[in-house]
Amino acid sequence: MDRVVQTLVDAVSVGGLYSLTALGIGLIFGVMRLINFAHGELITATGYTLLALFGLPLPLMLFGGIFAAVLLALATERVAFRPLRSADPATLLISSFAVSFFLQKTLILFVGSRPKGVDFLPSLGSQVEILGARLQSLQIVTIVVSAVLLGALTWFLHGTRVGLQMRAAAEDFRVARMLGVRANRVIAIAFAMSGILAAAVSFLVVAQTGIVQPRMGLQLVIIAFVGTVIGGLGNLTGAALGGFLVGAGTILAQALLPPELRVYREAFVFVAVTLILLFRPQGLIPARGLKDRI
């Protein structure tokens, strides 16, 4: 029983992390039709900001991490993606790779490519007992943070005027603009929100692994991107679900597969992803009526 609880909590916690990452990608895809692989660099930038600010009071470290991710997100939008807004999706995709590589290599130039240790939130390494299972506090915190952020994002999108404008822009940006929705504002808000989500993911990953390294964000983003595709590109609920399924699926595969096959757990997950896409090529929750972005 305790092993079942432990595995489930592990799956939900990892699923939550990928869910938040997939949402960050999904938000930008919604308003710009841009698959932003540079989202990974927002996660990485937050990690290195934590490293730079290590030793300061926790609220300052958290604020600094969020500030760095949001600032970088806004800067990439303004400098790299805004001039390409009316470009075709392939150009946007390549530009997002270019931004990602540029930021990664710049970081390596200044701090090197070796992983660096950050003893961030060590108290979350303590264990708590729930239903007979001994769980890490960090897993509970990850689940709570993921749930709170998913709830807050849902409230923002469905309970505020800007959220409504963002949903309209995701469906048909051209018509949304004709109704007065300001393209620059909505896209900038989407990037800022993706920065906040990336910062939260980074906090949890750094607390979990205790290290930062230049490729930490990209690895997460590639898996989360698979999640957004199986969830349904252009649909935020789909992105959250897809990210969760890929993350949780990996953990469940680890737990359920015979020991000799566990090394192939990713292969099993991607076979499942391929099967989902064979039967539902538009993803589990297809986006309705995707139109030209601007």
Partner 1 sequence: MSATPLLAVSELEVRYGVIAAVRGVDLEVHKGEVVAIVGPNGAGKTSLLSAIAGVARTTKGTMTFGGRQLNGVLPEDIVRHGIALVPEGRHIFASLSVLENLMLGATVRPSASAVQADVDHTFQTFPILGERRRQPAGQLSGGEQQQLAIARALMSRPRLLLLDEPSLGLAPAIVDHVYELLATIKDQGVSILLVEQNASRAFAIANRAAIMSGGRFALTGSPEVLAADERFDAAYFGTRMSGQVVGP
Q: Check residue 167 for interaction with partner 1 (CB under 8 A).
A: yes
Q: Check residue 240 for interaction with partner 1 (CB under 8 A).
A: no
Question: Which of 194, 235 has the CB closer to partner 1?
Answer: 235
Q: For partner 1, which residue of 1, 90, 179, 278 counts as binding (CB under 8 A)?
A: 179
Q: Interacting stretch for partner 1, rule CB under 8 A, among 70-78, 107-115, 116-124, 161-169?
A: 161-169
Residue 183 and residue 90 in contact, taking contact as beta carbons nearer than 8 Å: no
Per CB under 8 A, contacts with partner 1 among 63-82 are: none
Q: For partner 1, which residue of 78, 82, 116, 177 counts as binding (CB under 8 A)?
A: 177
Q: For partner 1, which residue of 19, 104, 146, 165 counts as binding (CB under 8 A)?
A: 165
Q: Check residue 161 for interaction with partner 1 (CB under 8 A).
A: yes
What's the closest the beta carbon of residue 183 comes to partner 1, in angstroms? 7
Question: Which of 187, 224 has the CB closer to partner 1?
Answer: 187
Residues binding partner 1 (CB under 8 A): 161, 164-165, 167-168, 171-172, 174-183, 288-289
